[in-house]
């Protein structure tokens, strides 16, 4: 019994030890993970709001300043020097250095630094060189206002943040992924940032939007100040070079010409667009030529490029920064405000330091003047130690206290005793007076700047714009972009077939009746002999119902297409006639166009794209007592109603057949069209300038500022020139007059 008890106690102790170990390990894992996550957020992925730099960028720029001598340095040397500050290896430093250099703001690059347009990488670090730009030297550095810390190994000191006197974070933009946290601040325009900073200094609100180095066209309607949940729609600049060729001259931010062409070729392979050939002639500027297949509309292809390729992208910003050693989500307008006030504080600090230094120079010059003029140095031999000598000097300077700007200190006296005799013998009181007067003027100027600090900061920003703003104009066009419906612009890449008797339709029934070309995104509408209707997605094979009377591509929201129908309710029921539209439906649901009585029969069914109303004659089966066997029907006498309406009664007798007596004409008038001045597109939603009613072969006339005119159809997919000065409905007999300058 004793042995068993001992065994049980040992087992319990082992179990307890094992549980303690598990608890200890899980606790360590939790603490280590939090430490790791904090390190990645604070020291790697997210920029500080003070200077807008990640630690690796800050260390690179500090290292470049440390080596700065006006000449280019090999990037390999810069990387090597930075490694004493950054503990993560040469590859991360090299990549970060190239990324900063490609922004063309802080670093003056020499050699092949890659191409952000094509995605080509930079040459090896041993082949390329760099030095700080003049702008970088002016706005990034001032050891006197820099907060210094110790490097990771304790051997060197490095800046905690650089004293950046410019909204660098917004100019550069930044992207980083940390543990459970992401940051994406988009780049903004240099000139616009300066103008906005001046507005903030003047107490006004400033709104800024991103500007991308790749250009393009962007819609910032949902930007939401760069906060989480915002969105930017950005497009490549695609134009019609000629009816058979499109040209891309600017690409969306975040893409390259290579990735863009790959997306175009992929869409072409899937049949969503039809392209003959793509050429990349990009050098200093983007030039991608897209050659179209014969008969393909350039306007529709442009929209298809936006819908199915990287020619249009959606970018989601996420403005996150480090402030007080904590990640914080704030809008770009708030970031700009903080940066502007930080610049103001740095300028004030620099002025105060300059004022102090000038006053110190004035103070010592005044002491030196009195010291030499009063010949205080003559009696030095009477005093054998520093204490008695300083006591003597304090007594001699006592009558002159009111002429000084501060009290005399031992350090001042120590400097006076170090003046060499040759300087005393060559002392020129006139030059000293002139020097002190010059210092007085400088001190007065600095005091004036401090008293009018905002005006001084405004002038500072204006000077930056004047010195460095050339060539930094906005590249991205801000524009409201229309939404492109993919089903309207996708190319017909499939063929639809139908077996009417058995009731099947789809892409795979190649031995059966061909219906039309279609696309993978299309919906198909079908009607059967028993009065059923169904809408379904294009597929290989779908069962609809036996005896299909009509099948076609379905256009959602189409209020012009009208269906004319005559049907008998059940085998011996009443015959009705109706006109209806089909605008909205639930896909794959079967709808009854009759009363729903089993074995109902459709005798007449037509599809009319412009609401045409034909005349027909209904021939009845012979019945005793029936005097009239023909009934003339004019569908124009019926109102167009919903698909669920029963319709008007035609007859209670059995029908033999229905024959057409007169082809239908449209019962709908011409359609109204408007031109949206913002998106430069046509619409029927009453947005923009009213152009008039259009039908048949009507055309639209446009005249551009360069003196060209062009006739367009009224297709809503048309793309119009950006520089049109007149757009209106075209009347062949109308006379136009113009005044032009023959350049």
Whole-number Å distance between alpha carbons of 234 and 187: 14
Cα 274 to Cα 239, 268, 294, 342, 669, distances in angstroms: 16, 6, 10, 54, 35
What are the tokens at 276? 């003959």
Instruction: Provide the b/e sequence for 458-488 (b: ≥16 CB within 10 Å).
Output: bebbeebbeebeeebeeebeebebbebeeee
The residue to which tokens 């008969």 are assigned? 295
Query: 714 catalytic, yes or no?
Result: no
Q: What is the DSSP letter of 482?
A: P
Question: Do the beta carbons of residue 65 and residue 50 sit within 8 Å?
Answer: no
Strands 477-478, 217-219: pairing is: parallel
Give Cα 411 to chain centroid, integer Å. 59
- In angstroms, how far apart are the furthest CA atoms of the chain? 157
Angle at 385 between CA 382 and CA 388, to 5 degrees: 70
Length of the chain, in residues: 743
Q: What is the DSSP letter of 42?
A: I
Whole-number Å distance between alpha carbons of 337 and 330: 11
Cα 302 to Cα 172, 271, 455, 470, distances in angstroms: 31, 15, 49, 33
What are the tokens at 327? 């990640």
Helix, strand, coil fractions of the chain, as percent rounded to 5: 35, 25, 40
Packed helices 332-373 and 410-417: angle between N→C axes, nearest 10 degrees: 50
The residue to which tokens 């900063």 are assigned? 100
Strands 532-537, 590-592: pairing is: antiparallel
Cα 59 to Cα 86, 97, 149, 339, distances in angstroms: 7, 10, 12, 20
Q: What is the CA radius of gyration of the chain?
A: 41
Give Cα 339 to chain centroid, integer Å. 22
Q: Backbone phi, then psi, for 174, in 5-degree steps?
A: -160, 150
Report H helices in 403-452.
Answer: 410-417, 421-425, 429-451
Q: Backbone phi, then psi, for 399, in 5-degree steps?
A: -70, -15
Cα 336 to Cα 209, 281, 318, 330, distances in angstroms: 12, 39, 15, 10
Packed helices 386-397 and 410-417: angle between N→C axes, nearest 10 degrees: 100
What are the tokens at 333? 């307008």
Whole-number Å distance between alpha carbons of 553 and 523: 6
The residue to which tokens 């969105």 are assigned? 231
Whole-number Å distance between alpha carbons of 16 and 12: 6
Report the Cα–Cα distance between both ends of the chain, in Å, rounded: 117
Sign (positive or negative) of CA dihedral 73, 77, 78, 84: negative
Whole-number Å distance between alpha carbons of 171 and 105: 9
Whole-number Å distance between alpha carbons of 446 and 450: 6
Question: Do the beta carbons of residue 577 and residue 648 sit within 8 Å?
Answer: yes
Among residues 36, 39, 127, 394, the one annotated as catalytic is 127
Whole-number Å distance between alpha carbons of 107 and 97: 9
Whole-number Å distance between alpha carbons of 177 and 26: 26
- Which residues are annotated as catalytic? 127
């Amino acid at each position: 019994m004793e042995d068993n008890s001992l065994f049980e106690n040992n087992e319990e102790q082992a179990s307890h030890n094992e549980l303690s170990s598990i608890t200890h390990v899980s606790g360590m894992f939790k603490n280590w993970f939090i430490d790791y996550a904090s390190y990645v957020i604070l020291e790697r992925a997210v920029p500080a709001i003070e200077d807008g730099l990640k630690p690796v960028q800050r260390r690179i720029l500090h290292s470049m300043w440390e080596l700065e001598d006006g000449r280019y340095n090999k990037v390999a040397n810069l990387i090597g020097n930075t490694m004493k500050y950054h503990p993560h290896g040469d590859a991360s430093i090299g990549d970060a250095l190239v990324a900063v250099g490609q922004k063309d703001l802080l670093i003056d690059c020499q050699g092949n630094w890659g191409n952000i347009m094509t995605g080509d990488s930079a040459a090896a670090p041993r082949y390329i060189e760099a030095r700080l730009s003049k702008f970088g030297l002016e706005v990034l550095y001032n050891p006197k206002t820099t907060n210094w810390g110790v490097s990771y190994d304790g051997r060197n000191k490095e800046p905690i943040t650089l004293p950046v006197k410019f909204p660098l974070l917004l100019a550069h933009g930044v992207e980083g992924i940390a543990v459970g946290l992401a940051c994406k601040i988009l780049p903004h325009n240099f000139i616009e940032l300066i103008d906005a900073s001046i507005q903030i200094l003047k107490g006004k609100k400033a709104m800024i939007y991103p500007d991308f180095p790749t250009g393009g066209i962007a819609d910032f309607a949902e930007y939401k100040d760069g906060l989480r949940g915002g969105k930017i729609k950005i497009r490549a600049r695609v134009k019609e070079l000629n009816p058979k060729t499109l040209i891309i001259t600017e690409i969306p931010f975040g893409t390259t010409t290579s990735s863009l062409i790959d997306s175009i070729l992929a869409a072409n392979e899937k049949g969503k667009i039809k392209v003959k050939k793509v050429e990349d002639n990009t050098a200093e500027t983007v030039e991608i030529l897209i050659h179209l297949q014969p008969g393909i509309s350039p306007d529709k292809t442009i929209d298809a490029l936006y819908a199915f390729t990287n020619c249009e992208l959606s970018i989601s910003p996420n403005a996150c920064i480090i402030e007080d050693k904590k990640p914080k989500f704030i809008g770009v307008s708030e970031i700009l405000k903080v940066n502007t006030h930080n610049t103001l504080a740095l300028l004030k600090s620099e002025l105060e330091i300059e004022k102090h230094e000038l006053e110190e120079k004035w103070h010592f010059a005044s002491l030196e003047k009195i010291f030499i003029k009063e010949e205080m140095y003559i009696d030095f031999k009477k005093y054998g130690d520093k204490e008695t000598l300083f006591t003597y000097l304090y007594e001699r300077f006592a009558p002159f206290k009111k002429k000084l700007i501060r009290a005399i200190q031992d350090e001042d006296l120590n400097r006076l005793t170090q003046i060499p005799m040759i300087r005393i013998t060559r002392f020129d009181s006139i030059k000293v007076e002139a020097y002190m007067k010059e210092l007085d003027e400088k001190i007065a100027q600095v005091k004036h700047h401090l008293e009018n600090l905002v005006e001084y900061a405004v002038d500072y920003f204006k000077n930056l714009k004047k010195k460095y703003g050339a060539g930094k104009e906005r590249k991205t066009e801000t524009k409201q972009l229309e939404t492109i419906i993919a089903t309207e612009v996708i190319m017909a890449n499939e063929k639809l077939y139908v077996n009417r008797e058995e009731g099947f339709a789809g892409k795979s029934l190649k031995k059966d009746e061909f219906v039309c070309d279609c696309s993978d995104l299309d919906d198909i509408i079908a009607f059967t002999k028993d009065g059923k209707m169904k809408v379904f997605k294009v597929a290989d094979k779908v069962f609809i119902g036996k005896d299909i009377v009509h099948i076609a591509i379905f256009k959602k929201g189409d209020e012009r297409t009208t269906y004319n129908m005559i049907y008998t309710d059940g085998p011996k029921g009443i015959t009705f006639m109706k006109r209806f539209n089909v605008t909205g439906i639930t896909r794959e649901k079967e709808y009854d166009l009759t009363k729903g009585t089993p074995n109902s029969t459709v005798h007449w069914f037509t599809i009319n794209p412009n609401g045409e109303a034909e005349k027909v004659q209904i021939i009845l089966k012979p019945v005793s007592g029936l005097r009239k066997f023909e009934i003339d029907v004019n569908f124009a006498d019926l109102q167009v109603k919903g698909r669920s309406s029963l319709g008007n009664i035609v007859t209670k007798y059995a029908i033999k057949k229905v024959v057409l007596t007169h082809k239908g004409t449209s019962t709908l008038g011409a359609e109204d069209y408007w031109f949206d001045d913002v998106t430069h597109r046509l619409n029927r939603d009453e947005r923009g300038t009213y152009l008039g009613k259009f039908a048949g072969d009507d055309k639209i006339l446009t005249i551009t500022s360069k003196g060209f005119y062009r006739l367009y159809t009224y297709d809503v997919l048309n793309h119009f020139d950006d520089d049109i000065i007149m757009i209106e409905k075209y009347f062949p007999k109308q006379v136009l007059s113009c005044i032009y300058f023959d350049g």
